[in-house]
Structure 1
Amino acid sequence: MEKTRIAVAGAGYIGLEHIRVIRESTSCVLSAVVDPSAAAGEVAATAGVPHYRSLDELISKDRPDGVVLATPNQLHVPHALLCMQAGLPMLLEKPIASTVDEAEALVAAADRYDASVLIGHHRAHSPIMARAREIIEKGTLGPLVAVMGSALFFKPDHYFTDAPWRKAPGGGPILLNLIHEIHNLRMLCGDIVAVQAFSSNARRGFEVEDTAAIILRFASGALGTFLLSDTAASARSWEQTSQENKAYSSYLDEDCYAIAGTFGSLSIPTMRLKTYAKAEDRSWWKPFDASVAAVTRDDPLKHQMEHFGRVIRGEASPLVTARDGLQNLRITDAIVTAAKTGCVVDTSVAAAARRECKH
């Protein structure tokens, strides 16, 4: 089979990861690197592919089958529009856009162009997430009641001195890190319809938050809590528990999600499962049947790229759509609003259009 030719625009950290998994793929091949920097030219030379300084140059000289857009957030919309106009399928890194308004405009454009857009929420392609979702959808836990989640980690001081903008609004963990968690929770527990939140900058003293406590209401009626901090010396984060990214230390006894239904509970990513043997004999005085669900631990970026290849070839529809990307951003934005105002913020599409806030 002829390999699917994919170009990568943006040779920063995540762009380099996309280049890595394309070069390791058996069905896709790297066709070019697009980035105006000299360093990107060296990356392209090492990979043995052409280097282009702009998407316009790429499209006019060496049109690929698809493009990965791993460019800075503020360039996501103009670059995505250019690919739509050229009829190029794209893997657009998250967040879909810098603002909800821009994201809404981009989704409307995708509809007009009937564009093929996969949003780069790579954890959606995690085998752990797939297995957890399978257990929940099979009804093993019963109707969902509650979820507890956390993303607690410690960013070193140089993270902020290297990029001082991270000390200002927009640079905190709500907008930089939480959007990953929002998509995970939506995959596992369904749509989030309302949020409430507190945030604090008490530890670092920056203008932006370093910690947030969030309450979530799901369309099913289930409720959730989520603790987020980039100044907490803790391993209760996806990166430090999933064992998917070898750049992070991992701890086999830690979880970052606990999901409970009326019949049982699942801890993720250890996949510890506790269920009642008999539905009619459920009680907190009764012991659970305890087990560990079998799961494969593998690089979700690799699975995402193989999926993107299938999307390009018309063999699959995007697992994470532009509308998913919009809703993830909308919920994250609502959490920022809730933390600022003390309101319960409705995150439904209609309410988001009204920017509804309920005291």
Structure 2
Amino acid sequence: MAARQAPGNLDAVWKIVSAAGLLVVVTGWLPAGKAFEVGVTRAVPILGFLIAVTVLAELAEAAGVFDAAATWCARLGRGSTPLLFGLVAVLATATTIGMSLDTTAVLLTPVVLALTARLDLSPLPFALLVIWLANTASLLLPISNLTNLLALQHSRMSTLEFAGRMALPQLAAVAITVGFLAVLFRRTLTGCYQVPEHTPPGDRVTFGVSVLACVGFVAAVTAGTAPWLAATAAAGIVLAVFAVRGRKHLRWGLFPWRLVLTTEGLFLTVTALVEHGLGELLTRWAGHSGLGATVLAAGSANLVNNLPAYLAMETAIPPGSGDGLFEILLGTNIGPLVTMWGSLATLLWADRCRARGITIHPGRFAAIGLAGMPWVLLGAWAALGV
């Protein structure tokens, strides 16, 4: 969701997916009526949220909110590397839950990597912690992941009902994620660092308004306000303040038009595939096993990306029903920790790591994912049944 425009692989992704979405409509492979229903009626509220939360997160970053949060973690850690690891986990979890997984991947990643360089700490454990939690901590609220927004739309349940159902799985997923990575990097996460000095924000007004807008946004969504409306209101407030006190930060690049086109293309392409038999095939493969549906969703997410995997598997669930929907979400949200294209957030994260001179080979990323992701998935699935 919230993301600067990324070069390289993402350029190819948005072009291919956008072209595919246009092609299925132009050729009539997806009937015009169905294309309007999916591409406009269903997609517009999701895309409106995507745009608004991107603007909100980008301006909050420009105001120094994420830098201040990371520095606060370092000061609160009092020089203990293991404690700092835990505090960064709390920050990444809170950012993912309240501001979406892509905000964590794109805006928190460079902040955390800059902090590790400043404190002379190994960046790899912290980089992986951020992207793992960007995925595994995206279960609790509808705004944490686009798949959740789609599930809320499909099931027609309230935000509190959704959060109540996902609370225990979310707790299990975060705990196992942090525990696994802490054990994996136990030899690296030792020693101490020099506690950094407090650095006040450049503009206290934009900083304060941005913090209040972010908190108010999450509170409004939790209270039942439509996510797109809450995000638009919060972004509008911050935009107004920046128009007066920080106009240099207002640029067209704030708007994630490539991600919007990619998401719209995915909506149309996957719907066309579902209309031509993909939905029936996935339903038959998943059977009636909750764990089977979760595993299939995780595998599909790693093969084709989590958003199309969710859209395809959702067709097996009757509209207005939540039965089976949460099992699918566990797979599509937690599962994409093996392939880097499993979620757009991971591609964005990899780009931010490269910008900092840190390259994580896809093979190593996959090996770590295969070793730990099944435990997170199984733990969250078991907690869902409690």
TM-score range, shorter chain: under 0.3
Report 1 or 2 for greater relative contact order, CA contacts < 8 Å, sequence distance ≥ 6.
Answer: 2
TM-score, reference length from structure 1: 0.21
- Higher-Rg structure is 1
Q: TM-score, normalised by structure 2?
A: 0.20
Structure having the higher strand fraction is 1
